[in-house]
Every structure is written in C-alpha cells, then in structure tokens.
Structure 1
Amino acid sequence: MYETFSYDDPSVVPLKARRHWRFMESNSAAAVMKAVCPNEWADIVKVLETYRLDPANWMKPGGDRGDVAEEIDNEFGKRGWQETRLPVNICSCVTTLLTALSGPSCPFISDRSRRSNSFNLWKRRQ
C-alpha cells in the first residue's frame, strides 16, 4: 500500500470540503470513488463540506454510538442513505482489513460489531 493524493485535485474533493479536514488515502481512493460511485461520492463530499466536529460531543460517556456518529448518520440520512447490514463473511474481511490498517483499537469498529461479527453500514437508497 502506498499513499496517494488524488483528494488534492479540486475536481475530486473541492477546496470547500478539504478546508476543514485532513485526508490520507491509498491507491487514489478518492478519485476511484468519484469515478465508480459519482452520486454517492457527491453525497460524501457534501457532508465533508458542511459537517463540523464539535469537541463537546467527542467524549461523552455511555452508549455504543456517540453523538458524532449519530450526527454523521443523520447527515447521510438526509441525503437518502439507509443503514444496512453486511453478511458475516464480508464483516470478517472488513474487520481484518480495518484492524490491519488502524490497529486493534480501530475507531471504525465498535465493540458491539467485534462481538457480533456484524456491521451496520450506510448505503444510498436505490
């Protein structure tokens, strides 16, 4: 895996979206997403352009989903995305990949997902 910077191209990720976030990608992931899933990519860019992290919501105790996750979920929900489950065999691959990339405390995998070997992800409504 090698680091790429396709997100620096304003036609892939506009400056308005890049202004408030730091990015890291491999294999030109942003450009690939834009080319393969242009509608979904447009939604992701819109969320990046408008959503801002509020430090007051970062470290609230209790629950499996924090306020940040709920706020981001709501932003995608407004754009027609819905939560969906992945089959166990895909979950195992995703867990292995994310753990390999981010370590055992990967922020993208909740403790509940680790225990149940399932993921709730969002997909755009058809």
Structure 2
Amino acid sequence: MTPQEFDQLVEECMGVIPPRFRRRLQNLVFLVEQEPATPGLLGLYEGRPLAERTSVPSFSMPDRITLYQGPHEREARNPADLRRLVEETIWHEVAHYFGLDEREVVRAERVRRNRLRRLRNL
C-alpha cells in the first residue's frame, strides 16, 4: 500500500471515534509514519491527556497521535483486517488522549469488542 493510500485509510477510519468524543478533540494532530522508533508499536499518543489539562487556555504545541504503517501492514492478514487494526489503533490512542492508562484502555477495548460482537449478532 502506498503512503497516500494508507493516509486515506487512516482518514476513513477516523469515523471509529464517536461524534460526542470527536467534538472534544482539541489541539491534537494525527500523523502517519512508516516505522516506530520502538519496535512493536502500532500507534503512539504523545501529549498531555485531556483529563490533566487546566481550564485556563494556554499556548501549547498540539498533542500527537502517530500511526505506524509498516507494523499495521505486517500484522494484517488482509485489507479488512488492516482496516480493523487501524480503527483499533485510533480508538486506543484516542482513549489515551482522554486520560485512560494502558490498563483502563485494555479494559475499555474489551467492553467495546463485546458490544460490537453483540451488535453484529442482532
């Protein structure tokens, strides 16, 4: 997949963020890089979580969520699996933006997956 095609996939997968949360994304940029500096990462949130910010606005550089194309492509079994992985990575990193630590994110992902399974079975 070309970098442009992967960028487009990431853009399409942003819909995984529910509108009520999407409206709260402020001073945040999404980036795509080919490979992470630390092996094994699919994505990385860098910044100050929303829950830790003060109500007093101040100038600061945007928080960043980086998605890594290479690891996604190597882990995916097919195009549908690649889309699922990208959606999960976006969801995971946005959860960090909202202040969830790794343990809380994993727990929330389990709940989300179970909810999605139930919806598919309706």
TM-score normalised according to structure 2 size: 0.35
